[in-house]
Amino acid sequence: MTSFVAEIARRVLAGQAPVVIGLDPRLDALPTAIAPGAPPAERIVEFYRQSLPAIAHNAPCVKPNVAFFEAFGPAGYHAYETVCALARENGLLVLGDIKRGDIGSTASAYAKGHFAIADAVTLHPYLGQDSVAPFLTHCGQPTADSAGGSSTGGKGVFVLVRTSNPGARDFQDLPIDGRALCDHVATAVTRWGSDLPMAEGYSPVGAVVGATWPEELARLRGLLPHAWLLLPGVGAQGGKVEDLAAAFDDRGLGALVNQSRGVMQCFEPNARDWLERIDAAAARFAADCRRVATGGQTANGSQSS
Amino acid sequence: MTSFVAEIARRVLAGQAPVVIGLDPRLDALPTAIAPGAPPAERIVEFYRQSLPAIAHNAPCVKPNVAFFEAFGPAGYHAYETVCALARENGLLVLGDIKRGDIGSTASAYAKGHFAIADAVTLHPYLGQDSVAPFLTHCGQPTADSAGGSSTGGKGVFVLVRTSNPGARDFQDLPIDGRALCDHVATAVTRWGSDLPMAEGYSPVGAVVGATWPEELARLRGLLPHAWLLLPGVGAQGGKVEDLAAAFDDRGLGALVNQSRGVMQCFEPNARDWLERIDAAAARFAADCRRVATGGQTANGSQSS
């Protein structure tokens, strides 16, 4: 049994790309050939059942966003759990994009529920340290339990520091003693992770930093020396892989670039070759990120290796 | 069809107490007589099936916290939906304590899913205006659809401004131009609600302000002149009803005091009279809040009317 951060580091050092593929199911973006006429949640599960092997071929980790599953009610929530389990069966790590944040007693309930499903989760910072602490109790030394459902250690969290959306400016830029609010959150993230077991220099407390703000990346990287950075916002939101070099250390560790729509919705719904297209888009994205992480240049997305 | 804010105002003006009862199911706090041996989610639903009529007798609104349901996986999520439906069948308004906050496209998915279940929801502010906007599109003029599942208007939101937990100090107190971060969030909440249909002077965009910070209440009330304030933290967290008078206007409108554990977990699990105890605790809490809201004194919880 290894921890989330140890396993991510091991995989990237072994040559896997430092990427995460986002799973944001939308009915109107599913291949029309997938279980036509079946209930929405069944179609979603079947789509991922068929596509996750191609993802596992190109990426170490997936990031299902529970919002897109919850939109389908209890059946959708069940699909979320099923898709997380399918991802693990395919050897993928699961980063649950849940963006939770509540008072301590409630946070404990969330941590228990979500770490039974996922290896790591995303969290809101607004409620402060005691809203994050119940999750950190699951981030200690991993246990010997290798059944996959263990929730007693080895997990990871990614705290929202600088989000990828335009509204990030509304509060995260507000100046406090000459530094932006998000810088103060970054400093707190570093503190929260300081007592937990590290792997290759990185703690289980990571940070979300939008790939849409490349001019802020080096500064936040400096404030987060031991945090894996989750970088969303590439593709549909306008972020570019080639702008993200500052997020990586000289071993190519320290950051995971996320792409969702650009891989999982890269085809017309009626395309017969949708699976080949996902595989090719994931391979191209992986190659681009690997190259940037290790100090090379991207091929502007025109080559897949 | 009326809106959430119009209906809350109507009920309070008609004499109902300005309270919300929090539903945070915990297995170890259920009456042992409730469906012993049944699966957790079934026991939870049965508990509320039996207790919601007593709640509806004393309060206009319930606040189920989805975290405590999610902790039981898909069956728990289904129980959340069932409990929300049961509450509506009992004539209660449903404030879903979901504390969501995500980028625009994701927020749209959350809004669609959760407004099909609840009349109002709680939201995180950290991602700014465009993370809240997709919820506000459901807060316009209510539609003629009275089927209960309408999600095209008349809904409400409560944005986290000042939370009830100790960690609220970590970021919400940080000084920006001489004002705390939470004051800036309060000002934004006022702005976000300004274009939406008001009822009795209150907009559909409310704010969460912890009852554990009474010394901040008057200031935040002033910054939020058109917001219903949701005041959690009474009871187990240390907040006191008698400290909350500043939250109400001279008609007794403008705030909803929440109590969760103090009502729904006010008995020993093996107590035979657990339902009478819930009824009495809810009645006492309602009377205390009604008295404070209308300018009277509480009876220190020793009397129920």
- Pairwise CB contact (< 8 Å): A110 & B72: no
Residue B299 lies in a domain: no
DSSP state of B270: T
Task: With beta carbons under 8 A apart, name residues in chain A contacting B169.
Answer: 128
Joined together, the tokens standing for residue A211 give: 């790939």
CA distances from A174 to A211, B101, B285 (A): 20, 19, 39
Verify whether the Cβ–Cβ distance B127 to A169 is below 8 Å. Answer: no
B165 closest CB neighbour out of A103, A113, A124: A103
Closest CA to A65 of B294, B103, B149: B103
Catalytic pick among B99, B112, B155, B240: B99
Each residue of B141-158: pLDDT tens digit? 987 654 444 446 899 999
| Residue of A63, A99, A155, A240 with catalytic role | A99
Q: Which helix (H) or strand (E) holds A292?
A: helix A274-293
Position B302 in a domain: no
What distance in Å separates the CA atoms of residue A261 and residue B188, rounded to the nearest whole number?
31
User: B261, B252, B254, B260: which is closest to B287 by C-alpha?
Assistant: B252
Domain coverage including residue A88: 4-293
The CATH number that applies at residue B140 is: 3.20.20.70
Residue A16 within a domain = yes
AA letter at B105: S
Phi, psi of B259 (to 5 degrees): -135, 135
Residue A298, pLDDT > 60, answer: no
Contact B119, B149 (CB under 8 A): no
Which chain B residues are within 8 Å of A185, Cβ to Cβ? 171
Confirm whether A301 is domain-assigned.
no
Q: Is the separation of the CB atoms in A188 and B151 below 8 Å?
A: no
DSSP category for residue A234: B
Nearest Cα residue to B129 out of B190, B209, B220, B171: B190
Average pLDDT over residues A18-27: 97
Q: Would residue A191 count as lying in a domain?
A: yes
Each residue of B77-109: b (16+ CB within 10 Å) or e? bbbbbbbbebbbebebbbbbbbbbbbbbbbbbb
- Indicate if the pLDDT at residue B301 is higher than 90: no
In whole angstroms, what is the distance from residue B115 CA to residue B104 CA?
16
Alpha-carbon distance of A229 to A244, in angstroms, equals 11
Reported confidence tier of residue A304, pLDDT bands at 50, 70, 90: very low
Q: Which residues of A250-284 are buried (b: 16+ CB within 10 A; e: fewer)?
A: eebbbbbbbbbbbbbbbbeeeeeebbebbbbbbbb
Cβ atoms A121, A115 nearer than 8 A: yes
- Mean pLDDT, rounded, for A206-221: 97
Q: What is the Cα–Cα distance from A204 to A120, expressed in whole angstroms?
A: 9
Cβ contacts (< 8 Å) between B238 and chain A: which residues?
none
By Cβ distance, the residue of B99, B104, B176 closest to A101 is B99
Whole-number pLDDT of residue A188: 98
Q: Does some domain include residue A302? A: no
Reading the block at residue B258, the tokens are: 């929440």
**B285: helix, strand or coil:** helix
**A184 contact residues in B (CB cutoff 8 A):** 171, 174
The residue assigned the tokens 């009349």 is: B119
- Given a contact cutoff of 8 angstroms between Cβ atoms, the answer to whether B159 and B125 are in contact is yes
Q: What ipTM was reported for this prediction?
A: 0.92
What is the domain count for chain B?
1
- The reply to whether A303 falls in a domain is no
Q: What is the pLDDT of residues B7-42, one digit of tens each?
A: 999 999 999 999 999 999 999 999 999 999 999 999
Q: Is B155 annotated as catalytic?
A: no
Distance (Å) from the C-alpha of residue B73 to the closest C-alpha of chain A? 6
Q: Is residue A300 part of a domain?
A: no
Q: What gap in Å lies between CA A300 and CA A292, rounded to an integer?
A: 11
Asked if the Cβ–Cβ distance from A188 to B170 is below 8 Å, we say: yes
Sort strands A227-231 and A203-209 into parallel, antiparallel or unpaired.
parallel
**Averaged pLDDT for residues B72-89:** 95
When computed from its CA atoms, the radius of gyration of chain A, rounded to whole angstroms, is 18
From CA A115, how far away is CA A138, in angstroms rounded?
A: 8
Percent of chain A topping pLDDT 90: 89
Mean pLDDT across A142-170 = 82
pLDDT tens for each residue of A73-84? 889 999 999 999
Whether residue B117 has pLDDT greater than 70: yes
Joined together, the tokens standing for residue B225 give 């002149």
Helix or strand or coil: residue A117? coil
Q: Which candidate in B24, B65, B171 is best for mutational testing of the A interface (most A CBs within 10 A)? A: B171
Nearest of A181, A47, A215, A117 to residue B125 by alpha carbon:
A181
For the four alpha carbons of A65, A39, A82 and A11, in that order, the dihedral sign comes to negative
pLDDT tens-place string over residues A116-147 = 999 999 999 999 999 999 999 999 998 765 44
Under 8 Å between Cβ of A166 and B131: no
Contact A230, A207 (CB under 8 A): yes
CA-based radius of gyration for chain B: 18
Q: What is the 3-state secondary structure (H, E, C) of B74-92?
A: HHHHHHHHHHHHHHHHCCC
